[in-house]
Amino acid sequence: MRRHLGAFAVVTAAAIGILGSSGTAVAYPNIYEGLEIGDCAAYDRTNQVGGPADCDSVQANYRLVEKYQLAPETAGMECGDPMAAVSYHHRTDDGTRLALYCFANNFRVGDCWNFTDVRERRRVDCDAREPETSRLTAVYEGVSNAALCHDQNTDAVVWEKPRLTVCITPS
């Protein structure tokens, strides 16, 4: 069985705040401040909430692949890494972009994921025995080829952009 989920969607999340008492733009709290490349985050697309997470936790569905401090001339910058699935702009209350964080899915061999909803792939606890749970047996970045998984007698989830193949077996 081959599942093709298409290209990753890039989602921009923004916080809501209030105007400073002086009438000048005020920066919202930066929920990802201190996060370094390779660190993980949890993000719930449905409720649009997120924050740093331990990479070994089930909630850690994303890994930071790029981050930029922005200036007025770079405020329109977007994620350049083709693996970036979600982006977050740290902003002021008037919408000025101060920083850009780009996250890729935190796919790791041995972890379990539920791929039934294309937009809301989610990492799940392998021991929970949730229906439609798949264990990742291999992850190939830069390659879109289901045959890599079929040679291992596993199913494949394949993306063309970015080129990614994830081999899965029912958990």
Four-residue CA torsion sign, 145, 102, 96, 54: positive
- pTM equals 0.72
Report the distance separating Cα 47 and Cα 49, nearest Å.
6
Specify the amino acid at residue 90: H
Helices (H), the chain: 147-150
Per-residue pLDDT tens digits for 89-139: 999 888 899 999 999 889 999 999 988 876 677 888 999 888 889 999 999
- Give tens-digit pLDDT for 49-66: 889 999 988 889 999 999
Q: What is the model's pLDDT at position 149?
A: 94
